[in-house]
Chain A
């Protein structure tokens, strides 16, 4: 058993093939021998019957037949192993040819490492078993490559985001120590350092929350949450920002909008999306928050009047630290994680978040199933 499981496929294939062939040859040879002997016996009996009717009996014929039978037996018994050996070796060679593409694949696959995920496996024939295996493997590689890419980009972005406030803090501190300054100047310097500390704190908290979400260690509460109420709540707390920019935010609730989920997490998702709309939509425009209850799900749609999100960015704006306009969003005090948090919050409830063009602006839609997954 252990030898068997350690042997290569080629050896096992050949062994099986040879065993099956031998068994069939033995059956075939035995059947042939039996049939021939039967035939001889019948001939012999015929001759004996003829002899009984007065013909001269042929004394040698029985002996000759036995001799012929013996010869046939010898040919069969000696020929059989020879055929088995010959076809076994042939099978062994054929098996190597058939399995060679797999050996090539494994040699190629061995060269692919985390640093070289862009390499792909080649198969001579795309449509045979090996070709299909290579295709499946390449598919997996492509997915791996993209998630590795994402991870690399995220690490680079995160360290950039964390280093920026750190270098500001350091710079201000070093400048403050360089010469003696007045008390108000010191207060200003310290205050500005503390502002950066706040920014760092919020960033770290948000990153922690996301990584807990990734690791699945964050437990969501399961309570009845009225998303209409959540939307009104969010708008009443953020409304003052819209007010400041002379924007109008309307909330429409149609149907019953209760889902089973975590109120704080859902509110965070809605807050981030509405906050974005207020931040980026032009002053004096209108923002619409529509909550619609369907039998199986509740959707929250936040529609603004511009400037809209170019199509090429739509897939990626939910990625962590992805920004359409680097300078502008940083200036507005964003962490670059708002929509990532929103997406996490929605998918944690088994829902979906998406963005579409709506007139000159965009419409963010959060869909939460009633029976959260």
Chain B
């Protein structure tokens, strides 16, 4: 079982993070102060550290810096309420592997965690399969059952993204950033995503076959066999 250390002083948030990670079958340890987090990261072995930057007594950046100085190379995902470019660059310079700006959506956090855990392992599959749906990245071909599905470029990218995160929730923010390449949160793309998703669904989930793409209200989408 993969072990995750959550260093977060806001108790409610720590509980939510722990519950979400446990639901994904990670072994979770919560540290409520910077001191404790630093002590545990130093003394025990973890596969990943979720580190809040604003902690009482000992700041997240300090902890990160000391860990890296001691050659502890556990991947660190930084959680921050500050999203100024300087803050991000500083965090990454000090050895963070990724960062997430509060408030973040849980599906996004889980996707980042998965990505960090996969790091260094071959992950880029070129063929995906879900029920009777098959997608071939190289041939740019999608087949549902025995029928070829004709998709536009954007629809194809969208479906590929959903398949890469198969069984996991995908938020609109993730889609905007990763599929539409729009990193600014203030840009209005939600309607675009919804319309695009509706079209993709019309082509993939035909009448009479089990639905694969599901909308989870208020959260985003998930591609999964059976119930969402």
Which of A199-207, A246-254, A356-364 lies at the interface with chain B? A199-207
Interface size class of B (residues with CB under 8 A): 20 to 34
Q: Is the CB of A264 within 8 A of B217?
A: no
Q: Is the CB–CB distance between A195 and B188 below 8 Å?
A: no
A142 within 8 A of B: no
Which B residues are in CB contact (< 8 Å) with A338?
A: 188
Per-position binary interface string of chain A over residues 217-257, scored 1 when its CB falls under 8 Å from any chain B CB and 0 otherwise: 10100000000000000000110110110000000000000
Task: Report the minimal beta-carbon distance from B89 to chain A, rounded to whole angstroms.
Answer: 12
**B103 CB contact (under 8 Å) in A201, A206, A240:** A201
Given the complex, which residues of A lie within 8 Å of B192, measured CB to CB? 237-238, 240-241
Grouping DSSP codes into helix (H, G, I), strand (E, B) and loop, the B interface class, with mixed when no group exceeds half, is loop
Q: Are A264 and B184 in contact (CB under 8 A)?
A: yes
Complex contact A193–B184 (CB within 8 A): no
Is A275 a contact of B188 with CB atoms below 8 Å? yes
- Total inter-chain residue pairs, C-beta < 8 Å: 69
- Is B209 among interface residues, defined by CB-CB distance under 8 A? no
Given the interface pairs A240-B196, A240-B199, A333-B191, the reply to whether A195 lies near B217 with Cβ below 8 Å is yes
Say yes or no: A192 contacts B218, CB within 8 Å: yes
A243 to B199, CA, bound (A): 11
Chain B 66-100, CB-CB to A under 8 Å as 1, else 0, gives 00000000000000000111000000000000000
A residues near B (Cβ < 8 Å) are 187-188, 190-195, 197-198, 201-202, 205-206, 208-209, 212, 217, 219, 237-238, 240-241, 243-244, 264, 267-268, 271-272, 275, 333-335, 337-338, 341
Additional pairs, 9, CB under 8 Å, beyond known A195-B218, A217-B84, A341-B186: A191-B216, A194-B219, A197-B218, A198-B172, A198-B190, A201-B103, A237-B189, A268-B187, A335-B188
Report yes or no: A237 in contact with B219, Cβ–Cβ below 8 A: no
CA distance A278 to B187 in the complex (A): 15
> Could you tell me the distance between the alpha carbons of A241 and B190 in the complex, rounded to whole angstroms?
11
Closest CB in chain A relative to B194 CB, distance in Å: 9
A205 to B185, CA, bound (A): 7
Contacts of A264 in B (CB 8 A): 183-184
Hey, which chain B residues are within 8 Å of A191, CB to CB?
216-219
Q: A207 to nearest B CB, angstroms?
A: 9
- The distance in angstroms between the C-alpha atoms of A333 and B192, with both chains bound, is 12
**Chain B residues near A192 (CB-CB < 8 A):** 217-218
B46 at the interface (CB under 8 A from A): no
Could you tell me the distance between the alpha carbons of A197 and B216 in the complex, rounded to whole angstroms? 15
Quote the shortest CB–CB distance from B39 to chain A (angstroms): 34
Residues of B within 8 A of A335 (CB): 188
Counting from the closest, the 7 A-B pairs by CB-CB distance are A194-B218, A191-B217, A191-B218, A206-B186, A205-B185, A195-B218, A240-B195
* Complexed CA–CA distance, A264 and B154 (Å): 20
| Complex Cα spacing A198 to B154, Å | 24
Asked whether A209 and B186 contact (CB < 8 A) given A241-B191, A241-B192, the answer is: yes
Say yes or no for B180: interface residue by CB 8 A criterion.
yes
User: Do B188 and A193 have beta carbons less than 8 Å apart?
Assistant: no
Q: Which residues of B contact A237 (CB under 8 A)?
A: 180, 182, 189, 192
* Residue numbers in B under 8 Å from A194 (CB-CB): 217-219
Contact A271 B187 (CB under 8 A): yes
* Cβ of B58 to closest chain A Cβ, rounded Å: 27
Chain A, residue nearest B198 (CB): A244
Chain A residues whose C-beta falls within 8 Å of the C-beta of B191 in the assembled complex: 241, 333
> Which residues of chain B are within 8 angstroms of A209 by Cβ–Cβ distance?
184, 186
The reply to whether A201 and B187 form a contact with Cβ atoms under 8 Å apart is no
B218 contact set on A, CB distance < 8 A: 190-195, 197-198
Beta-carbon contact of B217 and A188 below 8 Å = yes
> 1/0 contact trace for B30-66 toward A, CB 8 Å?
0000000000000000000000000000000000000
Q: Could you show 18 A-B contacts with beta carbons less than 8 Å apart?
A: A190-B218, A197-B103, A198-B172, A201-B185, A205-B186, A206-B186, A208-B83, A209-B186, A219-B85, A237-B180, A237-B189, A237-B192, A240-B154, A243-B195, A267-B182, A268-B187, A335-B188, A337-B186
Closest residue to B179 on the A side, CB-wise?
A237
Chain B residues with CB under 8 A of A190: 218
**Please, how many angstroms separate the alpha-carbon atoms of A202 and B176 in the complex?**
13
**A7-B66 Cα distance, complex, nearest whole Å:** 63
Chain B nearest Cβ from A158, distance in angstroms: 15
Q: Which of chain A's residues have a CB closer than 8 A to the CB of B180?
A: 237
B residues less than 8 Å from A217 (CB atoms)? 84
In the assembled complex, how far is the CB of residue B198 from the closest CB belonging to chain A, in whole angstroms?
9
By a CB distance below 8 angstroms, the chain A residues around B83 are 208
**Which residues B142-171 have CB closer than 8 A to chain A?**
154
Residue of A nearest to B85 (CB): A219
Q: How far is the CB of A192 from chain B (nearest CB, A)?
A: 6
Known: A240-B196, A241-B195, A244-B195. A272 touches B188 (CB 8 A): yes
Residues in B neighbouring A243, C-beta threshold 8 A: 195
A302 to chain B, nearest CB (A): 15
Docked Cα-Cα span, A277 to B159, in Å, equals 29
Cα of A190 to Cα of B217 in the assembled complex, Å: 8
B223 to chain A, nearest CB (A): 18
Which single residue of chain A is at the shortest CB-CB distance from B217?
A191
CB distance from A175 to the nearest CB of B (A): 16
- B201: min CB distance to chain A, Å: 14
Compute how far the CA of A197 lies from the CA of B219 in the bound complex, rounded to whole angstroms. Answer: 10
